[in-house]
């Protein structure tokens, strides 16, 4: 008879072959992650990012407002939702334009007493332009100073320098006659009369009353970014912007329209943020999808199985018995074996004492109790204990002990 067992070396080789595909997938995933880490360029600076310390970020402004005791929040989510407790709202040039309903909501909020700081707005934001009547002028100016037109900045200086090598962007106030210029581009030696005469066409900062609220219009470049706070003293505008805001109030930045539906500009603080918003996280998700697909396919058989020559040989009877015994043993199922020893004990006793082995256990014990000569109480108790134990689904060790007790009882009656 051929041996059905295999050598340990053959088993080891078979296991290594079965692990070849998972190991190859793991190596592929590691290569993808390493390639992504090496080839991913450093992220480009995101303008008006509240958490960024680069020149066009707003970290300095956010920390300053927090240090002054204000609560800084940002809008986000799947729709524009301005907090009810908001006192001041910063709106920067947007990636996502305001809808007519959103612009109406914003104006109604200002009319109820809110303070809006509006940078720009972008030319594509027609609803926002139509709501407040201020847009960015199409013509550029080349004056080197931003001069205070109205004494609305008592904490500030009369003139502020700007980048001399770039043309200045101004505001078009022609559709907003109620907007008052505050800062305008002019030469340092301009007289007061000429400055006031041309202020409306050269304004870079203007203030507008809307109902009970105030709108501050800032030209692009007057946006309180980190560089402008540090190099061009734009922080002196902040006390004027906060003049109508209650102490400890809520200051909100409109991140919803600024960054569109994406979450760019928000700090990566969770594992979900890292997975969804970084190239390395995308590579990790891709690797997980590949591994999941492999594991799914491992549970399927693609097409009919190929039968080898070794598989055509039928099983031997002893191999089948061993396989079934191992299945019962692994499943912890010993009912059939217990039933076998239970039947073996009753048949052995019935043959010796001429009683029926098919009687129920209680009747079988009564028949043993009325034998002549009578069995001792110790023997009857031992038989009753073994029969009861075999009927109570014994475990493997208990079954071994009961089987030994059956052999001992049968040997006592020989």
* 65 lies in the same domain as 183: yes
**Helical pair 377-391 and 335-353, crossing angle rounded to 10 deg:** 150
- Looking at residue 161, what is its pLDDT? 82
Query: Are 292 and 224 in a shared domain?
Result: no
Predicted pLDDT of residue 354:
81
How far is residue 183's CA from residue 196's CA, in Å, rounded to a whole number? 10
pLDDT surpassing 70 at residue 348: yes
301, 316, 348 - which closes a domain? 301
User: Tokens 């002054």 appear where?
Assistant: 68
Q: Which two tokens stand for residue 146?
A: 């931003």
Q: 377-387, pLDDT tens digit by residue?
A: 888 888 888 88
Name the residue with higher pLDDT: 3 or 105: 105
Residue 166 shares a structural domain with residue 229: yes
Same domain, 258 and 274: no
Residue 150 tokens, joined: 């109205």
Nearest 5°: phi and psi at 112? -80, 0
pLDDT digits (tens, 9 = 90+) for 112-126: 999 999 998 888 899
Evaluate the CA torsion angle 92, 94, 100, 105 in order and state its sign.
negative
Same domain assignment for residues 105 and 238:
yes
Would you say the pTM of this structure is higher than 0.75?
no
Instruction: Identify the domain containing residue 380 by its residue range.
Output: 334-412
Number of domains in the chain: 3
pLDDT for res 410: 82
Strand pairing class (86-91; 250-253): parallel
- The answer to whether the beta carbons of residues 256 and 266 sit under 8 Å apart is no
Q: Looking at residues 318-341, what average pLDDT do you find?
A: 69
Look at 29-33, 165-169, 177-181, 188-192 and tell me which has the smallest mean pLDDT.
188-192
Q: What is the mean pLDDT of residues 314-340?
A: 67
Which residues have C-beta within 8 Å of that of residue 70, sequence separation ≥ 6? Answer: 88, 242, 245, 248, 249, 250, 251
Residue 104 has pLDDT above 90, yes or no: yes
Q: What is the pLDDT of residue 206?
A: 93
Of 264, 287, 312, which residue sits at a domain end? 264
349 found inside a domain: yes
Report residue 186: phi and psi, to 5°.
-160, 165
Looking at the structure, tell me whether residues 114 and 140 fall in a common domain: yes
Please state, in angstroms and rounded to a whole number, the distance separating the CA atoms of residues 139 and 394: 96
pLDDT higher than 70, residue 9? yes
Please tell me the distance from the alpha carbon of residue 147 to that of residue 202, in angstroms, as a whole number.
Answer: 10
Contacts (Cβ under 8 Å, ≥6 apart) of 332: 395, 396
Nearest alpha carbon to residue 169 among 132, 222, 127: 222
Q: How far apart are CA 41 and CA 278, in angstroms?
A: 11
Radius of gyration of the CA atoms of the chain, in A: 44
pLDDT at 303: 56
Residues 196, 86 share a domain: yes
Q: What's the rounded mean pLDDT across residues 9-23?
A: 72
Query: Is residue 320 in a domain?
Result: no
Q: How far apart, in whole angstroms, are the C-alpha atoms of residue 208 and residue 199?
A: 15
* Residue 325 falls inside a structural domain: no
Q: What is the pLDDT at residue 150?
A: 77
* Cross-strand partners of 161: 145
């Amino acid at each position: 008879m051929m041996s059905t067992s295999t050598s340990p070396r053959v088993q080891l080789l078979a296991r290594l072959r079965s692990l070849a595909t998972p190991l190859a997938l793991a190596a592929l995933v590691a290569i993808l992650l390493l390639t992504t880490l090496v080839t991913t360029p450093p992220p480009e600076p995101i303008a008006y990012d509240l958490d960024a310390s680069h020149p066009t970020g707003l970290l300095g402004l956010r920390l300053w407002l927090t240090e002054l005791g204000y609560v800084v929040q940002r809008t986000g989510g799947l729709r524009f939702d301005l907090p009810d407790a908001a006192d001041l709202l910063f709106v920067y040039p947007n990636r996502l334009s305001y809808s007519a309903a959103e612009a109406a909501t914003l104006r109604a909020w200002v009319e109820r007493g809110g303070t809006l700081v509006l940078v720009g707005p972008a030319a594509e934001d027609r609803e926002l332009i139509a709501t407040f009547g201020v847009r960015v002028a199409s013509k550029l100016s080349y004056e080197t100073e931003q001069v205070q037109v109205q004494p609305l900045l008592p904490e500030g200086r009369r003139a502020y320098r700007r980048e001399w090598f770039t043309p200045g962007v101004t505001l078009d106030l022609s559709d907003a006659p109620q907007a008052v210029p505050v800062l305008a581009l002019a030469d340092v030696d301009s007289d007061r009369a000429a400055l006031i005469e041309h202020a409306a066409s050269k304004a870079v900062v203007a203030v507008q009353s809307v109902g009970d609220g105030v709108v501050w219009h800032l030209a692009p470049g007057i946006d309180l970014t980190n560089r402008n706070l540090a190099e061009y003293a734009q922080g002196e505008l902040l006390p004027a912007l906060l003049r109508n805001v209650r102490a400890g109030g809520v200051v909100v930045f409109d991140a919803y329209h600024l960054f569109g539906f994406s979450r760019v500009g928000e700090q990566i603080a969770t594992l979900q943020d890292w997975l969804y918003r970084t190239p390395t996280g995308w590579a990790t998700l891709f690797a997980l999808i590949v591994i999941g697909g492999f594991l799914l396919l491992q549970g399927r058989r693609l097409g009919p199985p190929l039968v080898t020559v070794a598989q055509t040989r039928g099983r031997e009877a002893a191999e089948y018995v061993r396989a079934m015994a191992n299945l019962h043993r692994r499943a912890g199922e010993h009912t059939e074996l217990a039933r076998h020893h239970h039947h073996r004990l009753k048949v052995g006793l019935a043959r010796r004492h001429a009683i029926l082995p098919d009687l129920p256990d209680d009747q079988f014990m009564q028949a043993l109790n009325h034998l002549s000569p009578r069995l001792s109480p110790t023997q009857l108790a031992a038989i009753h204990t073994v029969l009861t134990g075999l009927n109570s689904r014994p475990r493997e060790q208990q079954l071994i002990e009961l089987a030994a007790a059956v052999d001992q009882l049968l040997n006592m009656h020989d």
